[in-house]
């Protein structure tokens, strides 16, 4: 634990100026070449083609499919609708096994489709579905597994594929975080029957709002396209129940522009990740998530595990102190979907036993990165973090309010 200094804490929590005059966010968008974006918008306006599978959406789909190494990409209005349509196109029914340690959209998309998310615990080392526990949760009502490539780190794809095959289940992946990540040199995208991406503003690659379903299955791709466009098979022919999940041309223009800068985004993410490692690694009690050589992630999330007994502050107190300095660390994905409504109030018989999810969601914080964050910012954030930890006892006393937790995720 860092030594307590004698000087009065020069920290925002104690009335000093915050370390940053303007907030540093987790999720500030990566923005590509503005002139290219504006040129595309001009073209779109000249064409008077704003939506309904215009040329830019077509080009975006082709490029996303190439990066993801899959046959088909169907661009969507967002990642949540991609999950909903994907689950429907797979014909999922009854129960679907899913992690609780994820953004709530993963669970909501299933529930919204009338499916029952069955929450499974995670492997605490990888933060994704623990395949052994998945197998134990399969019942006659289980129709599928929805794995999540959390933080862009690929889930245990091969083991989940094996379980799905042996039990005749459909396998789907929520790759909202994982565009551009690879496993054993293969891009994330082709591991399940289908996978989805999010291109929300906060994602590594954004189209402002947007998402995609990707798959190598021709039949599934046709079903997804049909469902995404009201079930239309002709100008006045509807052959199935459908909805409106289409991406518009403005989003595709943004997405294409982001794709052109993808190498730059990857470079900056790698540079920032290394800089954060230099700040975090020497601090006892803070451990940045790492992965082995088989995995390469887009490094969009700086994920840090906080051991209060060693660094002197609980995760929540550390996040509160950072936020006071205008370093808007996040408690993703606290408290786990199973502790949120409607899931919390409608537990299965016996309740959920997710000890790893409970522990990890209380220990993990996510720090700012992306092209809006400079190396100088990271050095200053690192210094602020060390200053905070030097005053851990005073901070703990100040924040030890009996009632509410001091920050929101």
32 binds ligand T4K (CB under 6 A): no
* Pick 80 or 326: Cβ nearer ligand T4K: 80
Contact flag: residue 377 with ligand T4K (CB under 6 A): no
Which residue in the set 153, 200, 225, 317 belongs to the binding site for ligand T4K (CB under 6 A)? 200
Is 27 a binding residue for ligand T4K by CB under 6 A? The answer is yes
283 or 316: CB nearest ligand T4K: 316
C-beta separation of 96 from 235 below 8 A: no
Nearer to ligand T4K, 73 or 148 (CB): 148
Using rule CB under 6 A, residue 336 touches ligand T4K: no
Query: What does each C-alpha distance from 315 to 24, 72, 275, 289, 392 come to in angstroms?
Result: 18, 42, 21, 15, 12
129 binds ligand T4K (CB under 6 A): no
Contact between 105 and ligand T4K by CB under 6 A: the answer reads: yes
Binding test (CB under 6 A) with ligand T4K, winner from 53, 57, 80, 377:
80
Instruction: Tell whether residue 148 is a contact of ligand T4K (CB under 6 A).
Output: yes
- 409 close to 332: Cβ distance less than 8 angstroms: yes
For ligand T4K, the closer CB: 311 or 328: 328
In the complex with ligand T4K, the residue whose CB is nearer, 127 or 177, is 177
Question: Any contact of residue 327 with ligand T4K (CB under 6 A)?
Answer: no
Position 322 contacts ligand T4K (CB under 6 A): no
From 26, 205, 268, 337, residue interacting with ligand T4K (rule: CB under 6 A): 26
Q: What's the min distance (Å) between Cβ of 377 and ligand T4K?
A: 14
Total residues contacting ligand T4K by CB under 6 A comes to: 23
31 binds ligand T4K (CB under 6 A): no
Confirm if 16 and 319 have CB atoms less than 8 A apart. Answer: no
* Min CB(109)–ligand T4K separation in Å: 7
Q: Which stretch binds ligand T4K (CB under 6 A): 99-107, 225-233, 305-313, 392-400?
A: 99-107
Q: How far is the CB of 5 from ligand T4K (least distance, A)?
A: 31
- Looking at the DSSP bridge assignments, the partners of residue 194 are 172
Q: Select the residue interacting with ligand T4K from 13, 19, 24, 25 (CB under 6 A).
A: 25
CA distances from 189 to 171, 186, 277, 300 (A): 12, 9, 28, 17
Task: For residue 367, give the nearest of 280, 291, 278 by alpha carbon.
Answer: 280
* Strand stretches in 160-245, DSSP E: 170-174, 182-183, 186-187, 194-198, 211-215, 232-234, 237-238
Enumerate residues 6+ apart whose C-beta is below 8 A from 282: none
User: Contacts with ligand T4K in 159-198 (CB under 6 A)?
Assistant: 174, 176-177, 198
3-state secondary structure of 392: helix
> Could you tell me the end-to-end alpha-carbon distance of the chain, in angstroms, rounded to an integer?
26
10 Å Cβ neighbour count for 357? Answer: 27
Burial 93-128 (b: 16+ CB within 10 A, else e): bebbbbbbbbbbbbbbbbbebebbbbbbbbbeebbb
* Contact flag: residue 338 with ligand T4K (CB under 6 A): no
Length of the chain: 409
Token code pair at residue 188: 């994330």
For tokens 């030890």, name the residue.
400
Q: Does 102 bind ligand T4K (CB under 6 A)?
A: yes
Name the minimum Å distance from CB 366 to ligand T4K.
Answer: 9
Q: Which two tokens stand for residue 156?
A: 């245990």
28 or 288, CB closer to ligand T4K? 28
Q: Which residues of the chain form contacts with ligand T4K (CB under 6 A)?
A: 25-29, 78-80, 102-103, 105-106, 148, 174, 176-177, 198, 200-202, 211, 328, 332
């Amino acid at each position: 634990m860092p030594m307590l200094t004698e000087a009065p804490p020069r920290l925002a929590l104690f009335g000093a100026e915050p370390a940053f005059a303007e907030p540093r966010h987790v999720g500030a968008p990566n923005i590509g070449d503005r002139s290219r974006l504006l040129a595309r918008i001009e073209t779109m306006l000249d064409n008077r083609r704003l939506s309904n599978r215009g040329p830019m959406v077509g080009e975006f789909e082709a490029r996303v499919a190439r990066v993801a190494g899959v046959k088909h990409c169907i661009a969507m209005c967002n990642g949540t609708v991609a999950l909903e349509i994907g689950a429907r196109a797979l014909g999922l029914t009854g129960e679907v096994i899913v992690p609780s340690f994820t953004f709530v959209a993963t669970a909501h998309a299933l529930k919204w489709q009338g499916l029952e998310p069955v929450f499974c615990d995670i492997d605490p080392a990888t933060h994704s579905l623990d395949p052994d526990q998945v197998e134990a949760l399969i019942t006659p009502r289980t129709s599928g597994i929805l794995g999540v490539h959390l933080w862009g780190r690929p889930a245990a794809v091969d083991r989940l594929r094996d379980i799905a095959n042996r039990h005749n289940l459909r396998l789907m992946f929520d790759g909202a975080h994982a565009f551009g990540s690879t496993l054993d040199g293969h891009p994330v995208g082709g591991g399940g029957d289908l996978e989805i991406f999010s291109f929300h503003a906060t994602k590594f690659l954004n189209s402002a709002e947007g998402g995609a379903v990707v798959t190598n299955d021709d039949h599934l791709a046709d079903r997804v396209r049909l469902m995404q466009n009201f079930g239309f098979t002709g100008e006045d022919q509807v052959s199935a129940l459908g909805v409106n999940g289409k991406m518009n041309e403005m989003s595709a223009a943004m997405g294409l522009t982001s794709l052109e800068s993808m190498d730059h985004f990857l470079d900056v993410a790698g540079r920032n990740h290394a800089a954060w490692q230099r700040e975090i690694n020497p601090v006892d009690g803070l451990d940045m998530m790492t992965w082995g050589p088989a995995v390469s992630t887009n490094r969009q999330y700086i994920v840090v595990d906080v051991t209060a007994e060693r660094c002197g502050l609980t995760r929540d107190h550390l996040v509160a102190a950072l936020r006071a300095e205008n370093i808007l660390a996040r408690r993703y994905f606290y408290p786990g979907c199973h502790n949120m409504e409607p899931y919390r109030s409608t537990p299965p018989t016996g309740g959920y036993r997710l000890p790893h999810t409970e522990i990890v969601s209380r220990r993990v914080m996510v720090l700012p990165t992306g092209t809006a964050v400079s190396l100088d910012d990271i050095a200053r954030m690192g210094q602020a973090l060390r200053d905070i930890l030097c005053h851990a006892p005073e901070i703990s006393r100040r924040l030890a309010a009996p009632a509410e937790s001091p920050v929101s995720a």
